[in-house]
Amino acid sequence: MDKIKIVKLDQVVEPVVAVKKVSKHVKTMKTFPRGVIKRATAKIIAVSDPAKPPPAKKSMRRHTIRLFTPLGEKRRQKTIKHRVSKMSDKQVTSLITKHNLLKNPTTPSRIKREMLAGAMLAGFISDT
């Protein structure tokens, strides 16, 4: 808020000169704000299973970003479909009930397999 100055009729007002502060370091946006990716040691890693936690090594930083590449996504869909098709009906049912995905026990096994494959692909269920 500006200060209020009272000026009398016969008084002359002196002009106020604004002094600008000059800082030593000027912040520019020439490079993008890095956030998690500050140093060259942090890398973006494409993974096969995003539900699995990252491996913990002494040399690794805590902040890792796990992404899918389009090729990795296609491979993952194939492997999940293959794994679910090789499972028995009992295994599929036990996995679905363990993770509270089954609402109706009379659901056909084909639909249970689709539900399990979708949950694995979304990362709700780790397939290892």
Q: Whole-number mean pLDDT of the chain?
A: 77
Tokens of 12: 């002359």
Instruction: Quick: pLDDT tens for 37-67.
Output: 555 555 666 667 777 766 666 666 555 555 6
In whole angstroms, how large is the CA radius of gyration of the chain? Answer: 30
Where do runs of H (alpha helix) occur along the chain? 70-86, 89-98, 109-122
User: Is residue 51 assigned to a domain?
Assistant: yes
Tokens of 69: 């590449």
Instruction: Quick: pLDDT tens for 17-26.
Output: 777 777 677 7
Instruction: Quick: pLDDT tens for 94-126.
Output: 999 999 888 888 999 999 999 999 998 888 887
User: Is residue 50 assigned to a domain?
Assistant: yes
User: Is residue 38 assigned to a domain?
Assistant: no
Whole-model pTM above 0.85?
A: no
User: Is residue 17 assigned to a domain?
Assistant: no
User: Is residue 9 assigned to a domain?
Assistant: no
Q: Which residue is listed with tokens 């996995």?
A: 95
User: Is residue 68 assigned to a domain?
Assistant: yes
User: Is residue 73 assigned to a domain?
Assistant: yes
User: Is residue 65 assigned to a domain?
Assistant: yes
Domain of 82 in residue numbering reads as 44-122
